Amino acid sequence: MAHEFKDIDPNAPTGAKVVNWFENRFPTAFSAYKVHMSEYYAPKNFNFWYIFGSLALLVLVIQIVTGIFLVMNYKPDAEKAFASVEFIMRDVPWGWLIRYMHSTGASAFFIVVYLHMFRGLIYGSYRKPRELVWIFGCAIFLALMAEAFMGYLLPWGQMSYWGAQVIVNLFAAVPVIGPDLALLIRGDYVVGDATLNRFFSFHVIAVPLVLIGLVVAHLLALHDVGSNNPDGVEIKAPNAPKDANGHPLDGVPFHPYYTVHDIFGVAVFLFLFSAVMFFAPEFGGYFLEYNNFIPADPFQTPNHIAPVWYFTPFYSMLRAITAEMMYALIACVALGGLFGILKAPGIFKAVAGAGAAVGIALMLAIDAKFWGVVVMGGAVVILFALPWLDYCEVKSIRYRPSWHKALYAVFVVNFFVLGYLGVLPPFPLGEKVSQIGTLFYFGFFLLMPWWSRIGATKPVPDRVTFKPH
- In the annotated binding site, the residues are 102, 116, 203, 218, 223
Please provide the DSSP assignment of 346-377 as one string: TTHHHHHHHHHHHHHHHHHHS-HHHHHHHHHH
Taking CA atoms, 183 is separated from 108, 167, 371, in Å, by 32, 13, 20
> Using an 8 Å Cβ cutoff, are 336 and 442 in contact?
no
Q: What is the CA radius of gyration of the chain?
A: 25
**Could you tell me which residues are annotated as the binding site for heme b?**
102, 116, 203, 218
How big is the CA angle at 89 (ends 85 and 95), to the nearest 5 degrees? Answer: 105
Q: Which of 304, 283, 284 is nearest to 159 (CA)?
A: 304
> Using an 8 Å Cβ cutoff, are 453 and 348 in contact?
no
Q: Which of 129, 105, 122 is nearest to 57 (CA)?
A: 105
Phi and psi of 183, rounded to 5°? -65, -40
> Using an 8 Å Cβ cutoff, are 51 and 272 in contact?
no
Taking CA atoms, 256 is separated from 36, 80, 349, 358, 419, in Å, by 12, 49, 56, 57, 39
Element (H, E) at 179: helix 178-186
**Could you tell me which residues are annotated as the binding site for a ubiquinone?**
223
Phi and psi of 460, rounded to 5°? -85, 135
> Using an 8 Å Cβ cutoff, are 99 and 64 in contact?
no
What is the distance between the alpha carbons of residues 85 and 95, in angstroms, rounded to a whole number? 9
Q: Which of 201, 206, 215, 203 is nearest to 61 (CA)?
A: 215
Q: 24 CB contacts (<8 Å, ≥6 apart)?
A: 3, 5, 6
> Using an 8 Å Cβ cutoff, are 392 and 400 in contact?
yes
Element (H, E) at 251: strand 251-253
